């Protein structure tokens, strides 16, 4: 298996980056969808369209992208032996946090679909910054490997 991963290393690395981009795009889009969803009248046709858009974004882009990012990322980590690197521990913590954020967003979409609107638009707009901050931290850790 190690030889196969070595032969496919650059393809796997490319796939990892591509699916990180898909995942991040979805994480940026979903809270924006929530803002628009919450601004639509409850029980309206517009609201039902937002519910469907959110469901599709989660099912077609977010969940598959996150799963592929994790699988390929762990394969690459194992192949290069990064489990013992300090920078990787912090990166892993950031990716776990991003995954928890993903889970929270999916849960929030279910609340919205059920007619609940627990957060105001301003808080959702602030939460929209979480993936950008996480991405900046992760990229610095992977590229600069500061420790």
Binding site feature residues for heme: 16, 91
Q: Tell me the C-alpha distance between 21 and 4, whole Å.
A: 25
Q: How far apart are CA 120 and CA 128, in angstroms?
A: 13
- Tokens in use for 105? 């967003």
* Closest to 20 measured CA to CA, from 135, 104, 145, 141: 135
Residues at the annotated binding site? Answer: 16, 91
d(CA 27, CA 105): 8
Q: Under a CB-based contact definition with an 8 Å cutoff, are residues 78 and 85 in contact?
A: no
């Amino acid at each position: 298996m190690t030889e196969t991963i070595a032969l496919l290393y650059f393809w796997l690395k490319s796939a990892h980056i591509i699916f990180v981009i898909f995942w991040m795009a979805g994480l940026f889009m979903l809270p924006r969808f929530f803002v628009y969803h919450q601004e639509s009248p409850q029980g309206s046709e517009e609201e039902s369209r937002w519910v469907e858009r959110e469901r599709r974004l989660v099912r077609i882009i977010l969940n598959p992208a996150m799963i592929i990012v994790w699988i390929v990322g762990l394969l690459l980590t194992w192949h290069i032996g990064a489990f013992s690197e300090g920078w990787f521990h912090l990166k892993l913590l950031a990716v776990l946090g991003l995954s928890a954020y993903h889970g929270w967003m999916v849960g929030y979409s279910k609340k919205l679909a059920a007619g609940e609107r627990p957060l105001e638009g301003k808080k959702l707009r602030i939460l929209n910054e979480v993936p950008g901050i996480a991405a900046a931290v992760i990229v610095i850790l992977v590229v600069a490997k500061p420790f």
